[in-house]
Structure 1
Amino acid sequence: MAAIASTIVPTAPDILALQEADSDDAPHQAILNMEELGRMTGLQSVHDGDNMRWGPQSGGFLGNILLLDPAMTLRDRRILELPGRCPRAAVLAEVEVAGHPLRIVSCHLSLAQALRAVQLRTVGQVLARRAPMQTILLGDLNEWRPWGGIALSRPMMGMDLTGPVRRTFPAGCPLLPLDRILTDNGTDVFDARALNSDAIHAASDHRPLAARVELRGRAA
């Protein structure tokens, strides 16, 4: 919590996506105090429904936690369970921001390229059946190739997702851009930066990634 308070909160995020925020083993108990996290950030968790958490002791679903500005109108939310050797999932939320529809997909993908491709193909198949809208994909994508590899290609996702490349791993001396903030129009993402502090080094092996996203005339 110290890293969030000292390094992330000052950026005043409207969207906060966390990974590995529940314990690895069942019952995947929350690592963070969710009430305190909400007060600290001013954001609201999308995981208040039982179907949005792995279990009653979890903060999110398999470590994925998504928090949003309460000013956003939440239209739909769901968990997408993803295939793989280790349990994986994506959190999908569809909101309106000042009347602008926006889809947010937060995920933590496999270390294996083949499984990443299958996981994002699964996400892409779900999105193909939903109403078209501006889409943000963010999280620990575990994709070190700056161009995104096959997992982020149109054949897998059904859309072109692009955005700035910033090295985030390992936290002490970043070499790989494992964490990304992407949109279906990559020019929407700007001011991307990997946050750094001693508190971050103590809390995680990744540096948090922050960016601004243009929403047709306004930024979030």
Structure 2
Amino acid sequence: MTWNVHRAKGRDGKVQPERVEQAIAGVLAPYQPDILALQEADEERRPHARILDVARIASDTGLTYVHNRKELRWGPESDGFLGTILFLSDRFRQAEADVIDLPGHCHRGAIVIEAMAGDRHVRIMSTHLSLSQPLRVIQMRIIGQYLRRRPKMQTILLGDLNEWRPWRGLAFSRKIVGTQFAGPAKATFPTGLPILPLDRILTNAPGRVERVEVVDNPDTNAASDHRPLHGVVTVA
């Protein structure tokens, strides 16, 4: 599951982190997700200070907050890495954790967890990419170079990828990334009348995204300008 919480700024323009926390507890937690990826979940500007109660979110969802080392957070006042915060269920036995700096007009980044799911190796990568396609190409090229250096395993890529094209666009092509990510495109933005599939849940072979659905609920709709996206991914 992925959700751009827009720095807790709701459709009415008010910044109210408690609305995000309540929506996660009341709307998203009942889905019992194994992965919860939040974007824009720290302040936008340096020092990218925390805005959410991550301990409450972990308790309400039964998930583990993975940024337990300072190297996995942007700074001492942050909960995530450039606004990206990841929570995982106990189904995943974490082996490695890393962050990737990505260039752009706005500093971007990704959080990466390599884990075991049963007897399968799987990599979970959450990120928030640029609005600019040329910058997304550069950012995904860097991610592709990172993946080439890492052990080969199925990678689940999720987050606000800012790609409006249903066919994923140049940035997500095998030529740029070195692997083929795939998954359905469902419109998540803007909340009031979604027309753009900016938020995605993708994976590469041998896994497959079985289905995705956009969460349409008054509480989540009031809390952010993006709707959450829930998906089912086969780990193979």
Report 1:151-190 matches (<5 A): 151-185=171-205, 188-190=208-210
1:126 paired residue number: 146
1:17 paired residue number: 37
Distance 1:7 1:163 in 2: 23
Calculate the TM-score normalised by the size of structure 2.
Answer: 0.89
Letter in 2 for 1:204: S
Deviations 1:114-169 (A, max 9, x none): 00010010000000111111111100000000011110011111011010111101
Distance 1:113 1:196 in 2: 28
Deviations 1:35-70 (A, max 9, x none): 111101111111010000011121101100011112
Deviations 1:79-124 (A, max 9, x none): 1000001010011110001121000110000000000010010000
Task: Identify which of 117, 140, 165 aligns with 2:160.
Answer: 140
- In structure 2, relative to structure 1, the CA distance for the partners of 1:125 and 1:84 (3 Å cut) is same
SS at match of 1:2: helix
Distance 1:215 1:142 in 2: 25
Number of aligned residues: 216
Structure 2: unaligned runs, 5 residues or longer: 1-20
1:195 paired residue number: 215
Letter in 2 for 1:28: H
Structure having greater relative contact order (Cα 8 Å, sep ≥ 6): 2
Calculate the TM-score normalised by the size of structure 1.
Answer: 0.95
Instruction: Tell me whether 1:101 sits opposite 2:121 in the alignment.
Output: yes
Alpha-carbon offset, residue 185 of structure 1: 3.2
Worse-matched range after superposition: 190-199 or 104-113: 190-199
SS at match of 1:5: helix
1:30 paired residue number: 50
- In structure 2, relative to structure 1, the CA distance for the partners of 1:186 and 1:210 (3 Å cut) is farther
Distance 1:156 1:183 in 2: 15
Worse-matched range after superposition: 178-187 or 17-26: 178-187
Letter in 1 for 2:53: N
Distance 1:71 1:155 in 2: 33
1:3 paired residue number: 23
Conservation of the 8 A alpha-carbon contact between 2:182 and 2:208? no
Alpha-carbon offset, residue 203 of structure 1: 1.1
Structure 1: unaligned runs, 5 residues or longer: none
Distance 1:136 1:72 in 2: 13
Distance 1:93 1:40 in 2: 22
Letter in 2 for 1:138: L
Distance 1:41 1:157 in 2: 33
SS at match of 1:119: helix
Superposed CA RMSD in Å reads 1.1
